[in-house]
């Protein structure tokens, strides 16, 4: 899935769109996507000026965006204008190595459960085959009021 299809599936836009490409998707099971981390990312200006490091919360957000792509694919639907995809929980998050400009973050997400618009995922991101972050993510698709 290229960036054009991703933009149709996710409401996020620059600078908050954190998935550049989907490499593989196994319907209803797993997704493998990537985020190219460049020095041009706006967060590097302040995090940190002399030693740029991708914030952990943005690594988790990248995983959640990949999880959303997997969820919409599993439901055979695109997000509707009156629907929104929320975090419902983040558990067991562990950060194993810093992510710096020039890294390519490989996002791997497995759908564990899907029931009544609630999704539970096991997610991890790697750089050069080395684990950078892992977490269990729970998300919910809800109608906006």
Spell out the domains of the chain, with CATH numbers in brackets. Answer: 3-143 (3.10.129.10)
The band of 23, judged by pLDDT with boundaries at 50, 70 and 90, is very high
pTM, entire model: 0.95
Q: Helix %, strand %, coil % for the chain, to 5? A: 20, 45, 35
CB 108 within 8 A of CB 125: yes
Catalytic residue among 21, 32, 47, 122: 47
pLDDT in tens, 24-44: 999 999 999 999 999 999 999
pLDDT of residue 143: 81
Q: What is the rounded average pLDDT for all residues in the chain?
A: 94
Q: Which two tokens stand for residue 119?
A: 């999704």
Of 20, 32, 14, 106, which is closest to residue 70 (Cα–Cα)?
32
Degrees to nearest 5, angle at CA 76 with 70 and 79 = 75
Q: Look at residue 106 in the predicted model and tell me its pLDDT.
A: 98
pLDDT value of position 16: 95
State yes or no: pLDDT of 51 exceeds 80.
yes
* DSSP 3-state of 133: strand
59 confidence band (pLDDT: 50, 70, 90): very high
Report pLDDT digits (tens) over 88-101: 999 999 999 999 99
Percentage of residues in the chain having pLDDT higher than 70? 100
Residue 12 falls in the annotated catalytic set? no
Residue 131's Cβ-count burial label (10 Å; 0-12, 13-18, 19+) is: middle
How far the first Cα of the chain sits from its last, in Å, is 31
Answer yes or no: are the C-beta atoms of 106 and 45 closer than 8 Å.
Answer: no
The whole-number average pLDDT for the span 94-117 is: 97
> Which residue stretches of 1-130 are H helix?
3-9, 56-74
pLDDT band at 76 (very low <50, low <70, confident <90, very high): confident
Q: How far apart are CA 53 and CA 76, in angstroms?
A: 36
């Amino acid at each position: 899935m290229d960036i054009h299809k991703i933009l149709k599936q996710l409401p996020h836009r620059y600078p908050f769109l954190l998935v550049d490409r989907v490499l593989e998707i196994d319907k209803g099971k797993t997704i493998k996507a990537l985020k190219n981390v460049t020095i041009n990312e706006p967060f590097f200006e302040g995090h940190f000026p002399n030693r740029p490091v991708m914030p952990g919360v943005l690594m988790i957000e990248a995983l959640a965006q990949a999880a959303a792509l997997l969820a919409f694919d599993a439901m055979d639907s695109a997000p509707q204008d009156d629907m929104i995809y929320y975090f419902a929980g983040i558990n067991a998050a562990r950060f194993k190595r810093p992510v710096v400009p020039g890294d390519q973050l490989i996002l791997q997400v497995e759908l564990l459960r899907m029931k009544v618009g609630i999704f539970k995922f096991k997610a991890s991101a790697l750089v050069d085959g080395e684990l950078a972050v892992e977490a269990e993510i729970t998300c919910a698709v809800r109608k906006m009021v």
